[in-house]
Structure 1
């Protein structure tokens, strides 16, 4: 599946022709360069590795050699896209002019915001055990029973309980491209995407 690396710039809103306010996310695409092209003959599968944002410090000799083959400056962010892309060459710069169109549906993948350790009410939308009746002054946001005591005498795996929330890979599917600024390589997407501002995103085209 073809895709590129982007940066989450933030959210805004635009007005439709009928005057409706639409919440949008602004994503800066690239510039991305082709660092490596993997083939079935050499690597056992076919893919294209893209790199973004120049890396100036802490570059190992192996990394220097890796980027030297492509003839580009070492990059900070690398990501691989599976598939066969015969029209791409090593060291090429990805141009969004030929990749995306307004009105197209795409998938966006990123790391969701980390919320730290949270209880069941915030993490799983539990309602708590109820009102302050029968002396339950400190049980409003508690999970309640998590399993029977005699049988099975244990807590099943996957039981919804308190724990660390967020900070996971999340993919939002079928986001519509409302506007494209080709000069600044910016996509305006309808809806929200995972992650904080200035975080990296993987923007993928839908399979046809």
Structure 2
């Protein structure tokens, strides 16, 4: 059984739990996703389903992509993602997958591309401490010494320094599903998830409750 689905982040809100607690949740439009390719261990060396999310006309893609999408239907998709499965029985091209595969209370891992923060210094980017805020001090937010003296006389690869922050793939594990609304294709997941509003997310069941 496929244990994952693609979705789009809508935003955050609060809901009340049955015991009266106010729980912060992220609203995700999860699916419907459609099977665009079935990969088998015989042909590709592993079993997986390629799922498409976000419909768009075939006229909006190039001819190779249009030929690929036409095998599973008459619609193209903005996002494609593979999900490994143990058994391919019961799956066919063009089959829709919806959020009824999940249950309230299940744990899921959510992956997405984090928000872009532009160019950032070491204090914001890596959590460095500031220098003294006293009279005469000229080192407030500078990274400090980064060299290696006479040997190796260069900056070591991987040194934490100022640079571009964000736009990285992030995964938050073991988030609880608070509510499922199949008629609207909405998942309410406890807590924040990576990415901006309308960002594409991968939601995978972890098997924990």
TM-score > 0.5 by shorter chain: yes
Q: Return the offset for 1:15.
A: 2.7
> Which of 78, 90, 100 is the equivalent residue of 1:87?
90
Question: 1:178 corresponds to which residue?
Answer: 178
Task: Please give the secondary structure, in 2, of the residue aligned with 1:126.
Answer: coil
Alignment of 1:52-67 (within 5 A): 52-56=53-57, 57-67=59-69
Q: Return the offset for 1:156.
A: 1.6
**In 2: Cα distance, 1:145 partner to 1:128 partner:** 14
**In 2: Cα distance, 1:148 partner to 1:20 partner:** 54
Contact 1:15 1:21 in 2 (8 A): yes
Q: Deviations 1:17-56 (Å, cap 9, x if unpaired)?
A: 4543321100011121000001111122221000112222
Question: 1:104 corresponds to which residue?
Answer: 106
Q: Which runs of 5+ in 1 are unaligned?
A: none
Question: 2:46 corresponds to which residue?
Answer: 45
Contact 2:113 2:170 in 1 (8 A): yes
Contact 2:32 2:99 in 1 (8 A): no
RMSD value over aligned CA atoms? Answer: 1.7
| TM-score normalised by L of structure 2 | 0.91
**In 2: Cα distance, 1:48 partner to 1:148 partner:** 49
Question: 1:6 corresponds to which residue?
Answer: 7
**In 1: Cα distance, 2:20 partner to 2:132 partner:** 43
Task: Please give the secondary structure, in 1, of the residue aligned with 2:97.
Answer: coil
Task: Please give the secondary structure, in 2, of the residue aligned with 1:65.
Answer: helix
Q: Which 10-residue stretch deviates more, 115-124 or 18-27?
A: 18-27
Task: Please give the secondary structure, in 2, of the residue aligned with 1:28.
Answer: strand
Question: 1:29 corresponds to which residue?
Answer: 30
Question: 1:188 corresponds to which residue?
Answer: 188
**In 2: Cα distance, 1:58 partner to 1:74 partner:** 8
| TM-score normalised by L of structure 1 | 0.91
Task: Please give the secondary structure, in 1, of the residue aligned with 2:10.
Answer: strand
Q: Which 10-residue stretch deviates more, 112-121 or 76-85?
A: 76-85
